[in-house]
Amino acid sequence: MVHNLTRRGLLAGACALAWDARAASGTDDGKAIADIPSLGSLAAKRGVLFGAAIDHTTLTDPRLAALYRHQTRIVTTDTALKLGSLRPQRPEVVDYWEADALIDLATRSGLAVRGHTLAWNAWQPDWVERLTRREAAYWLERHIEETVGRYAGRLHSWDVVNEPLWPDDNLPGGLRGGPWYAKLGPDYIRQAFTIAHRADPKVKLVLNEAGSEWKKSFTSGERQQAHLMRLIDDLQHSGIRLDAVGLECHYFPNFEFDPKGFSGLIGSIADRKLDVYLTEIDVNDTEFPADLATRDRLVAEKYAMLLRPALTNPAVKVVQTWELTDGQTWLQEQAKGSRRPRPLPFDADCRPKAAYHAIAAAFGT
């Protein structure tokens, strides 16, 4: 295990000051943030935890940190707990400094934390591809045991398996190809949940999936819904503990939405005594008009479109955006020219946008 104690110590100290200073200060920025009604508080009145993914920028930006503290009640680690972040070069060399800093700060601020993610067939370090079957089984188990065990008793939930489905790969059950599937077959999913449960019997275990919430998506949403329900049934019939299903809800151009189909999907999951988390909501506005007011209005409409049917079902316990402000979004990688994406409820200066008001209205109805 590798730790840069100097970097980690300095960062943790700076982060603690960042998260505490603005909430206690009388600065204009702190006052402005405190004056914005909290989405976390509005959601709580409906029995829902509202939150967002959190990344390293929150560790050093006091205003962003204050916004998270005021607006959210739960946060998900963005990349800090992914295998590629923890063990990028060699499996035996692991560095938890960023994850530790994020979790420490969130915990000190009274925010629940979701760990993301333990087993994923995408965004893996090169060394995973080179493993034999026997080595893959060993490192999947060791990684989950060590990572879940390190934070046992501190996290709200874990995305144990992330995006296991991708029907376009034409594998049995609509499963996604990738290193874990290639080495261990579909049983890697059951193994991951079994190991995570053993490492922390009390943390909530989540199957997190993309595309199933849409009538049309990259993976043909209607087909993926059927695959998702079969996978859930298979896990439950096998005696695997599963507490919730995460529906990511990323919107991309040309996706199609059917409110009745979405409600039906949530209902089917709820019928299996599982909670539903909307885990990664954002709106890709690449194809929307350039005019900011028009674009923001269309983004807000997508949030309202998703949340209206979702919040009618009490099985929906968590609603999260994938980051909180436009300045953090992963969609910046797809930006065209000088046009910056605006997919989230707050702009890059932490100011609420139309999407914020759409979310607030959904929680308030």
Give the mean pLDDT of 232-243. Answer: 98
Token reading at 220: 């043909």
**Contact residues for 336 (Cβ-Cβ < 8 A; gap 6+):** 286
Give the mean pLDDT of 286-302. Answer: 96
In this predicted structure, the answer to whether residue 242 has a pLDDT above a threshold of 70 is yes
Task: With CA atoms as reference, report the closest residue to 241 among 273, 183, 194.
Answer: 194
> How high is the pLDDT of residue 109?
93
pLDDT band at 77 (very low <50, low <70, confident <90, very high): very high
> How high is the pLDDT of residue 294?
98
Number of residues assigned to the chain: 365
> How high is the pLDDT of residue 26?
32
Cα dist. 139→79, 100, 136 in Å?
19, 21, 5
Task: State the residue for tokens 């079902």.
Answer: 313
> For 100-141, what is each residue's pLDDT tens digit?
999 999 999 999 999 999 999 998 999 999 999 999 999 999
Cis peptide before 117 (omega within 30 of 0): yes
How far the first Cα of the chain sits from its last, in Å, is 49
List, in order of start, the domains of the chain with CATH numbers: 5-364 (3.20.20.80)
> For 299-335, what is each residue's pLDDT tens digit?
999 999 999 999 999 999 999 999 999 999 999 887 7
Strand partners, 206: 159, 244
Residue 117 DSSP symbol:
E
Strand partners, 318: 49, 277
d(CA 53, CA 56): 11
> How high is the pLDDT of residue 17?
37
pLDDT band at 16 (very low <50, low <70, confident <90, very high): very low
Tell me which long-range contacts 355-358 makes (C-beta under 8 A, separation of at least 24): 355/283, 355/296, 355/299, 355/300, 355/303, 356/36, 356/39, 357/300, 358/300, 358/301, 358/303, 358/304, 358/307
> How high is the pLDDT of residue 221?
81
For residues 326 and 302, the answer to whether their CB atoms sit within 8 Å is: no
> How high is the pLDDT of residue 335?
72
d(CA 350, CA 357): 14
> How high is the pLDDT of residue 2?
37
For residues 11 and 99, the answer to whether their CB atoms sit within 8 Å is: no
| Average pLDDT of the residues of the chain | 91
> How high is the pLDDT of residue 125?
95
> How high is the pLDDT of residue 31?
59
> How high is the pLDDT of residue 218?
85
Alpha helices in the chain (DSSP H): 5-24, 28-35, 39-44, 57-60, 62-71, 83-86, 97-108, 126-129, 133-150, 179-184, 187-199, 221-237, 259-271, 292-310, 354-364
Q: What percent of the chain has pLDDT over 90?
A: 86
**Contact residues for 190 (Cβ-Cβ < 8 A; gap 6+):** 235, 238, 240
Give the mean pLDDT of 271-298. Answer: 97
> How high is the pLDDT of residue 222?
84
In this predicted structure, the answer to whether residue 169 has a pLDDT above a threshold of 60 is yes
In this predicted structure, the answer to whether residue 20 has a pLDDT above a threshold of 70 is no
> For 253-276, what is each residue's pLDDT tens digit?
999 999 999 999 999 999 999 999
Three-state DSSP at 319 gives: strand
Give the mean pLDDT of 281-308. Answer: 97
**34-38, 67-71, 272-276: lowest mean pLDDT where?**
34-38
